[in-house]
Chain A
Amino acid sequence: MTDLTVADPATALASRRHINSDLRAQRVRSAWVFLAPTLLVLALVAGWPLVRTIYFSLTNASLTNLAGAEFIGFDNYLTWITLKSGRTIYRGLLADPAWWNAVWNTLKFTLISVSVETVLGLVVALVLNAHFPGRGLVRAAILIPWAIPTIVSAKMWAWMLNDQFGILNDILLGLGLIGQKVAWTANPDTAMVAVLIVDVWKTTPFMALLILAGLQMVPGDIYEAAKIDGIHPVKVFWRLTLPLIRPALMVAVIFRMLDALRIFDLIYVLTPNNAQTKTMSVLARENLFDFDKFAYGAAASTMLFLIIAGITVLYMWFGRVNFEGER
């Protein structure tokens, strides 16, 4: 009887461990149960189209004959034939100057627009974070460009930038800054600038609001401590504010970057068929639907996906972003 009450430490420990692992297994199980609907929806709306796109990029499918597509390996990406003369001719997406032009345009657009929007957004956020009368109203008002659908704002800007009737030319002519009317969206020299201006106008508010949310997380008392420490406001910005909003800033930048890398609607409306502004998405759509090179367009889409994924991974790696807001 007595030895029943004295628990053997080894068995006690083992049984506790058993209970622990049971508990953990049960938790893991319920986690999967809770995640299942999300995973299912994601698989349906994101996974399946992605798999289909990758599949089509490895076939010779055309828009009119999707069912009869035949597998042709990586020929859409890169293939070559060697002529009798000994010259090798490369073909496929990776050998297509139009594709690389689109890649370059996209990267240029992304880099410039995201940089400008980040800096402007930061400035706007800092202003909106200061105390002044009517702040709430200004905060709401600044969101308007972001709230307008892109198609609408692109059309609106297309009219303002119009070479014959646009208000911009009118103003600049009136001020004597330009000698003759400029075809902003058609001119190869200004097309990208026009796109950038509209995108910055539209997206800076979004950036500003994300950064403002970060600014509001910074405890106010450290600014008083800095005042007592006698730290110059510029130093306060660089040494206190910026490091403390860095997590929010990184998240805002990544959102914007993903958006910018797959920009389509603005360019499609504002500067259609302009080689200077053709981005990866525009090129992919063109091949998929306009040129009846469905498989080729699928290959472009797949590459676009890979490039975005690659850049995102690199960014998160180097930026050491984690979404808990800590380094």
Chain B
Amino acid sequence: MAELQLRDIRKSFGAYEVIKGVSMDIKAGEFMVFVGPSGCGKSTLLRLIAGLEEITSGTLSFDGRVVNHLVPSKRGIAMVFQSYALYPHMTVFENMAFGMQLAGKDKQRCRKRVEAAAEMLQLTPYLKRLPRQLSGGQRQRVAIGRAIVRDPTVFLFDEPLSNLDAALRVATRIEIARLHRSMHNTTMIYVTHDQVEAMTLADRICVLRDGRVEQIGTPLELYEHPNSTFVAGFIGSPKMNFLSETFAMPFDADTIGIRAEHLVIDQEGGLWVGNVVHSEMLGSDSYIHLDIGAAEPLIVREGGTSSHKPGETVRISPVAGQIHRFDAAGRSIGRTEMRGAA
């Protein structure tokens, strides 16, 4: 069990500040996901928590104890690297047992722990192989196994799935979710820039932007109540539609955002009219791209297979109460109904 407290954490590389004052509490046993665009400092923040980088200022505490100057191995953490970071000259078994053996742990117990982890990750047949004799997915499982064997109180993942193909990514994602359930005492912090991973795995998501926390909340909170255009655009797929100027004015906002599923086709009384420029059929759903004269085409979801062909004129209306309003700085000013009917 470990509860993490970050208080105004800052990190500079030379004169360049990468983490610009991050504060948050991570509850014991929670699955926290850091998301954000590339270069926003997710990995750096994770490495600060791991102790692989030194914190420039601010305090990091585990269960109320400040750990700023504690070496990684004393923090009770385990980390899974994006590149796996397996020891190339050691077998799978040795990779998992190495740290424990050198810590002078009892041989028998060590073997048991490794075997249990291997069993859980279906690695038993590969224990005698070298990393280069394994597939990418198997290597990633070894890296996870090595972390499990450490029996950490905080489990750190840095984009563990980004080197895997789509199918394997889904499978491993489910495995990680299962792992979290079976290690319910372990706090997990997971870095990704894939918002689907974030939505499916997280208890809470922390959206980072340019070294600062943009918003922290449960996946649904972020989805339904994004507090900025940045979060609104980042969470959810397809991306939220943003409209400004004449489209936003009737709603008393600088910008409004509407998700694709909150736009309905309404050929009689639609609020906006546009031409279909493109349509994507996914089988269960279709996404129609509609040019209504805004900066970008509006994406509209339609259940099943759409019958609207490119070039057709379609009228649409937003679902009542599902319009996100933002001010000029992109901050949320709540959702609302329209002031007056169009």
Contacts and interface: CB of A to CB of B under 8 A. Distances in A.
Contact of B73 (A219, A222, A229, A240): A229
B71 interface: yes
Given A219-B88, A230-B102, 10 more contacts: A222-B85, A222-B87, A225-B79, A227-B52, A228-B77, A229-B73, A230-B74, A230-B103, A231-B98, A232-B102
A227 B51 CA distance: 9
Interface string B47-79: 000111000000000000000000111100111
Given A229-B99, A230-B74, A224 B88 contact: no
Nearest to B94: A239
Q: Per DSSP, are chain A's interface residues mostly helix, strand or loop, or mixed? A: helix
Contact of A227 (B71, B88, B150): B71
A219 B85 contact: yes
B145 to A, nearest CB: 13
A225 B74 contact: no
B294 to A, nearest CB: 45
B73 A221 contact: no
A230 B71 contact: yes
A225 B81 contact: yes
A241 to B, nearest CB: 11
A243 interface: yes
Contacts of A221: 81, 83, 85
A227 B72 contact: yes
A225 B85 CA distance: 6
A244 interface: yes
Contacts of B71: 227, 230
A244 to B, nearest CB: 6
Interface of A: 219, 221-222, 224-232, 235, 239-240, 243-244
Contacts of B74: 230
Nearest to A232: B102
A231 B102 contact: yes
6 contacts: A222-B85, A225-B146, A227-B71, A228-B50, A229-B150, A230-B71
Contacts of A232: 102
Nearest to A246: B89
A228 B81 CA distance: 11
Nearest to A225: B85
Given A222-B86, A243-B89, A228 B102 contact: no
A224 B85 contact: yes
A248 to B, nearest CB: 13
Contacts of A222: 85-88
Give the top 7 A-B pairs by smallest Cβ distance, nearest first.
A230-B73, A229-B99, A221-B85, A225-B85, A228-B72, A243-B89, A227-B72
A239 to B, nearest CB: 8
A233 to B, nearest CB: 11
Contacts of A227: 51-52, 71-73
Given A230-B73, A230-B74, A231-B98, A225 B87 contact: yes
Contacts of B98: 229, 231, 239
Interface in B141-157: 146, 150
Contacts of A225: 79, 81, 85-87, 146
Nearest to A218: B88
From A229, A232, A239, residue with most partner B Cβ within 10 Å: A229
Contact of A231 (B52, B79, B88, B99): B99
B99 A230 contact: yes
B15 to A, nearest CB: 16
A244 B81 CA distance: 20
Interface string B209-233: 0000000000000000000000000
A229 B73 CA distance: 6
Contacts of A224: 52, 79, 81, 85
B89 A244 contact: yes
B158 to A, nearest CB: 10
A235 B102 contact: yes
A282 to B, nearest CB: 42
Contacts of A231: 73, 98-99, 102
A244 B98 CA distance: 15
Contact of B88 (A226, A235, A244): A244
A229 B85 CA distance: 12
A228 B78 contact: yes
Contacts of A230: 71-74, 99, 102-103
Nearest to A244: B89
B98 to A, nearest CB: 6
Nearest to B73: A230
A240 B88 CA distance: 9
B194 to A, nearest CB: 21
A232 B86 CA distance: 17
A228 B149 CA distance: 12
Contacts of B86: 222, 225
Contacts of B50: 228
A17 B102 CA distance: 54
A230 B105 CA distance: 13
Nearest to A235: B102
A131 to B, nearest CB: 13
Nearest to A227: B72
B89 A228 contact: no
A224 B158 CA distance: 13
Contacts of A226: 99
Given A227-B73, A231-B98, A232-B102, A240 B78 contact: no
Contacts of A244: 88-89
Contacts of B103: 230
